[in-house]
Amino acid sequence: MSKKTEKQSRKPKSQEGKPATNGVAQTLKHRHSEKTAQMARPTQQTPLRLEYRDAAELKENPSNWRKHPPKQLDALRDVIEEVGWAGAALLNEKTGHLIDGHLRKKIGKGKIPVLIGSWSQEQERKILATLDPLAAMAEADKDRLESLLKSIQTESEPVKKLIEQLAQENRIDSLLPKAEDPGPQIDRAAELQKKWGVKSGDLFLIPSKTVPPRKVVRCPHCDCENEAR
C-alpha cells in the first residue's frame, strides 16, 4: 500500500471516535422521532354522541374522588328546575362507568342527557383526575363576573348563596350584604376591650377618606405648631 493511499484513507482527528453518520443511523433516528410523535398524539377517537338515558341505570365510577355537599345538590337542582338541562353527564361506553355527572345522576328523574365516548381504563382515570381541576384553573375577570352576577334573577335561596359565595371569593363588595351597625354595646364593654386589646382613655387617629392630611410644622424655638402652606 503506497503512502499516498494510506494518507487518503485516514480520517481527520475531528472525526475520530465519532459514530458514522450513515443510512442506518439516520433511519433509526427517524423511527425514534416517529415513535415519540405517536406517543404525543392520541389515537383516533370514536366520535362522541349525545343520548338520553335513564339516570337510575348509569353506573357510578368506583374511582370517583369528588364529594358533593348538600348545598351544591340544592343549587344544581334549583338551577335545573329554573332553566332545564344545560349540561350532560359523561359516560365511558367501554367500561360502562360515569366519568362526570354523578350529581346529575343523583338529581335526575327519568332520562337525562349523557355524552358518550369510548376510552381505555387508563384514559378514563386520567380524565377523571383532571376534568374538574383543569376547569378550576381558569381565572375570573372581576368586572365581567360582577356584571354577570348582577344580571341574574332567581328565587332560589341556594342559588343566591352560590352567587354570594362567588362574590366573596372574588371580592365583589357591591354584591355582598351590608353589615348592620350593632350600635353601642355598653353592657359588653369589658368583653370588647379584652377582644380588641384596648382600654378607656385610648385615642385613635382615623385618617379621612376625603380630607387630605394636615401638614404641621413645629417651631424649634418656641415649640409652636403652624400649618404648612
Summarised one tens digit per residue, pLDDT across range 23-76 is 555 555 556 556 555 555 556 678 999 999 999 999 999 999 999 999 999 999
With respect to residue 196, please indicate whether it lies within any of the assigned structural domains.
no
Percent of the chain's residues with pLDDT above 90? 56
Which domain does 58 fall in, by range? 49-136
Indicate if 57 and 122 belong to the same structural domain: yes
Q: Is the dihedral angle over the CA atoms 183, 189, 192, 193 positive or is it negative? A: positive
Please indicate whether residue 164 or residue 14 has the higher confidence score (pLDDT).
164
Note whether 88 and 162 are same-domain residues: no
Task: pLDDT band for 83, please (50, 70, 90 cuts).
Answer: very high
**Residue 22: inside a domain:** no
| 119 located within any domain | yes
- Average pLDDT over the chain reads 84
- Do 82 and 96 belong together in one domain? yes
Q: Indicate whether 97 and 53 sit together in one domain.
A: yes
Residue 178: what pLDDT? 82
Q: Please tell me which residue, 188 or 31, carries the higher pLDDT value.
A: 188
Give the number of other CB atoms < 10 A from CB of residue 128.
20
Q: How many CB atoms lie within 10 A of CB 186?
A: 7
Q: Which residues contact 60 (CB under 8 A, 6 or more apart)?
A: 97, 98, 102, 105
The verdict on 100 and 156 lying in the same domain is no
Number of folded domains in the chain?
2
* Residue 162 in grid coordinates: 352560590
pLDDT number for residue 39: 52
- 4 within domain boundaries: no
* Higher pLDDT among residues 151 and 178, named by residue: 151
Nearest CA among 131, 121, 133 for reference residue 97: 121
Domain-embedded: residue 193: no
Task: Specify whether 120 is located in the same domain as 73.
Answer: yes
Same domain, residue pair 107 and 149: no
Does residue 112 share a domain with residue 79? Answer: yes
Evaluate if pTM is beyond 0.85: no
Q: Are residues 75 and 147 in the same domain?
A: no
Same-domain status, 132 and 146: no
Give the pLDDT confidence of 112-144 residue by residue, as tens digits: 999 999 999 999 999 999 999 999 999 999 999
| Residue 210, domain member (yes or no) | no
